[in-house]
Amino acid sequence: MDPNVLKTHPAFGQIHVSDCIDGMAELPAGCIDLAFADPPFNIGYTYDVYDDSLESDEYIQWSESWIRGVHRVLADDGAFWLAIGDEYAAELKVLAQQIGFQCRSWVIWYYTFGVHCKYKFTRSHAHLFHFVKDEKHFKFNADDPSVRVPSARQLVYNDRRANSKGRMPDDTWILRPQDLPYGFTADEDIWYFPRVAGTFKERAGFHGCQMPEQLLGRIIRACSDPGDKVLDPFSGSATTVAVAKKLGREFISFEMSEEYVSLGTERLEQIRVGDPLTGAADPLRSAPATNGKKNESKAEKLAREEEERQRWATQQVGPQLEFQFETMRAMTDGELINAFREIHDGHSVDRVLLDPVLSDRLESACRRISEREPAASRRQRLIELRASGALTAEGIHTERPTTIPTTTLERFSYAAELAWAILVQRYPEHSLDDIFTDPKLLEEFDREAMLHAADADPLTLRWCATQLRSWATTAREHQPGADEPEQSAPKFSAAKNWTTTSGPTSKSGSAKGGLYQVLAQDGSVLFVGETSDFTVRFGDHLASESAARFWRNEAGGQPKIRTASIQDATGPERRLAMCRWLQENPAASRNLVSLWSTDIPLGASTPS
Residues that bind ligand SAM in the complex, under the rule CB under 6 A: 19-20, 38-40, 47-48, 50, 207, 209-211, 234, 236-237, 239, 254-257, 260
Smallest gap, in angstroms, from Cβ of residue 279 to ligand SAM?
Answer: 12
| Beta strand pairing call for 102-110 and 125-132 | antiparallel
Smallest gap, in angstroms, from Cβ of residue 245 to ligand SAM?
Answer: 14
Under 8 Å between Cβ of 57 and 221: no
Smallest gap, in angstroms, from Cβ of residue 286 to ligand SAM?
Answer: 21
In terms of Cα–Cα distance, which of 203, 166, 200, 213 is closest to 186?
166
Specify the residue, 69 or 513, whose C-beta has the smaller distance to ligand SAM. 69
Specify the residue, 19 or 342, whose C-beta has the smaller distance to ligand SAM. 19
Give the distance, in angstroms, between the CA of residue 32 and the centroid of all CA atoms in the same chain: 33
Specify the residue, 255 or 530, whose C-beta has the smaller distance to ligand SAM. 255
Specify the residue, 48 or 333, whose C-beta has the smaller distance to ligand SAM. 48
Specify the residue, 40 or 529, whose C-beta has the smaller distance to ligand SAM. 40
Helix 333-343 × helix 375-388 angle, to 10°: 90
**Continuous H helices in 138-189:** 152-155
Under 8 Å between Cβ of 385 and 344: no
Specify the residue, 47 or 325, whose C-beta has the smaller distance to ligand SAM. 47
Name every residue whose Cβ is closer than 8 Å to that of residue 472 and which is 6 or more positions away in sequence.
592, 595, 596, 602
What is the number of residues in the chain? Answer: 608
Smallest gap, in angstroms, from Cβ of residue 113 to ligand SAM?
Answer: 15
Specify the residue, 257 or 497, whose C-beta has the smaller distance to ligand SAM. 257
Furthest C-alpha separation in the chain: 94
Smallest gap, in angstroms, from Cβ of residue 204 to ligand SAM?
Answer: 8
Name every residue whose Cβ is closer than 8 Å to that of residue 399 and which is 6 or more positions away in sequence.
346
Beta bridge partners of residue 132, listed in sequence order: 79, 102
Smallest gap, in angstroms, from Cβ of residue 480 to ligand SAM?
Answer: 58
Under 8 Å between Cβ of 507 and 542: no
Smallest gap, in angstroms, from Cβ of residue 114 to ligand SAM?
Answer: 15
Smallest gap, in angstroms, from Cβ of residue 33 to ligand SAM?
Answer: 18
Specify the residue, 38 or 540, whose C-beta has the smaller distance to ligand SAM. 38
Smallest gap, in angstroms, from Cβ of residue 289 to ligand SAM?
Answer: 19
Specify the residue, 19 or 171, whose C-beta has the smaller distance to ligand SAM. 19
In terms of Cα–Cα distance, which of 86, 111, 115, 96 is closest to 37?
96
Three-class HEC string of 269-319: HCCCCCCCCCCCCCCCCCCCCCCCCCCCCHHHHHHHHHHHHHHHHHHHHCH
Name the CA radius of gyration of the chain, rounded.
31
Distance CA 423, CA 592 (A): 10
Report the residue number whose CB is nearest to ligand SAM. Answer: 236
